[in-house]
Structures are given as structure tokens and as C-alpha cells.
């Protein structure tokens, strides 16, 4: 399910970069095509990993968020980031983040979970 470049990047944006809207993903830097983004969001929603909801403040907008099943992927993302930080010189990880990750990954995962925007209506 997750062995797919784009889905992992979408999840990273949701979990760690505060992305919540279609535009956020499109503009996240890696250059996902709009049709691919739409298809991946559908697949992630079908898999119960992300929620799609209308913004109650503006019906023209959609808000995406992680389900509990999606939140539970945070440790996977963190493990990948830890590996990249160590082995891939092109990956830029904030020093503070990298340190927290090495010292106490569980605590960092909890911190991220707590700071996640909640799905509308909770």
C-alpha cells in the first residue's frame, strides 16, 4: 500500500509539514502532477489512512487529515527520516529534529501526534 513514492510524500506532508489542502500537496516541492495527486488521495482514503472533509468555514475547500491508522504510520516516517539523515547527504533534517529522533524516537512520535491538526468536528 505504501510502497509508492507519492503516497509516502503525501503522508510526510500531512504528518510533518502541516499540509491539509490539495494545494499544499501540489506545492510541496516534489512536483506531483495533479491527476496523480487526486488518484493517490482516493487510494489513501479508500485504505482508511486519510480523511477527506469539507471545510466548515468555506465549502469550496477540502481538508485532508490523518486517520488513527494514518497517524500510526508516523514511526515509519521517522525511521525513514533517521536513515536518510544518516546516509543521504541531500536530505536536510533540522538538527534539533535529528537529535530528538536519535535520543527518543517514541517521545518525538508522541509530540508529533499531539501537534497534529484534528479532523473537523473533534
DSSP string, 88-114: -TT----HHHHHHHHH-HHHHHHHHHH
| Smaller CB separation from DNA, 38 or 79 | 38
Find the shortest distance in angstroms from Cβ 20 to a copy of itself: 22
C-alpha to C-alpha distance for 72 and 109, rounded to whole angstroms: 9
Residue 3 touching a copy of itself (CB under 8 A): yes
CA 82 → CA 5, 27, 69, 73, 117, distances in Å? 17, 24, 21, 14, 24
Residue 10 touching a copy of itself (CB under 8 A): no
- Among 14, 15, 37, 78, interactor with a copy of itself by CB under 8 A: 78
Which among 65, 1, 6 has a CA at the least distance from the CA of 30?
Answer: 6
In the complex, which residues of this chain contact DNA (CB under 7 A)?
4, 6, 21-23, 31-36, 38-39, 41, 52, 58-62
Find the shortest distance in angstroms from Cβ 120 to a copy of itself: 23
Residue 120 touching a copy of itself (CB under 8 A): no
Q: Name the site residues for a copy of itself (rule: CB under 8 A).
A: 1-9, 48, 69, 72-73, 75-76, 78-80, 82-83, 86-88
Amino acid at each position: 500500500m505504501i510502497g509508492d513514492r507519492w503516497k509516502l510524500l503525501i503522508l510526510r506532508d500531512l504528518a510533518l509539514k502541516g499540509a491539509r489542502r490539495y494545494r499544499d500537496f501540489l506545492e510541496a516541492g516534489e512536483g506531483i502532477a495533479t491527476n496523480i495527486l487526486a488518484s493517490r488521495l482516493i487510494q489513501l482514503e479508500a485504505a482508511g489512512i486519510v480523511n477527506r472533509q469539507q471545510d466548515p468555514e468555506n465549502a469550496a475547500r477540502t481538508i485532508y487529515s490523518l486517520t488513527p491508522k494514518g497517524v500510526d504510520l508516523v514511526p515509519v516516517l521517522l525511521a525513514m527520516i533517521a536513515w536518510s539523515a544518516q546516509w543521504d547527504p541531500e536530505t536536510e533534517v533540522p538538527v534539533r529534529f535529528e537529535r530528538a529522533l536519535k535520543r527518543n524516537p517514541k517521545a518525538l512520535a508522541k509530540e508529533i501526534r499531539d501537534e497534529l491538526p484534528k479532523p473537523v468536528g473533534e
